[in-house]
Structures are given as structure tokens and as C-alpha cells.
Amino acid sequence: MHSRVLVALAVLAALMAGAPALAAADTSSLAAFVQSCDTDTKACHNFTHDIIAAAKNADYDCIPKTLSADDGGNQLLTWMKDTAAGDPKYASMAVEDVAWAGVDALWACKAQ
């Protein structure tokens, strides 16, 4: 729980630093976010890049050390568009929460 709070703070700082680039990405809902990605792909890529960069900086989950924030962001964006957007359980979640669910789904740690 403590690590998730630290990661959330890191993401908040990253999002605030990139606020002008994120202005066009509609994060009011997952559907709105996915739709805004059709018209402003740069803002969507910046959003997912920042999530991955923050997760990697906080050693969150089992994201491979060799995976770049750009590649991870692209994978996360694809997951959000293809998997999450088609699943009703994500419809009412905040976009940031959906993104973190995607990080958990894409890079879940294997049971030891």
C-alpha cells in the first residue's frame, strides 16, 4: 500500500510537469480518453509514457528494466484501447486507475 501511494505521488508530479501536453487528452472517462486519442495521439502517448516512467522510477510491479517508457507507454495505450475499453468494469473508473490496472495486467509479478 505504501509503495502505491509513493507511485501515485510520482505520477502526480510527472503529470503536473507535463500538464500542457496533457491538456488535449480527455481523462474524464476511459471512453473519452480513447476517443481523444484518435485526435491527439501525442497527448495520449505522453500520458501513458508518464505512467510507465513513474512506475519504473518507483520500481513498481515487474516492468522489465530493459523496457523503455516509450515502448511501455505504447503497450499500455494499446491495452487501454483494446482491452480496457471493451470491458465494462473499467467504464466508471478514473483513467489513471485504468492505467494502473493496465500496468498490473501487463507486467504482473510472477508468483515465486
Contact 37, 25 (CB under 8 A): yes
Chain centre to alpha carbon of residue 76: 6
Residue 15 above 90 pLDDT?
no
pLDDT attached to residue 16: 47
Return the CA Rg of the chain: 13
50-79 pLDDT, tens digit per residue, is: 999 999 998 887 899 899 999 999 999 999
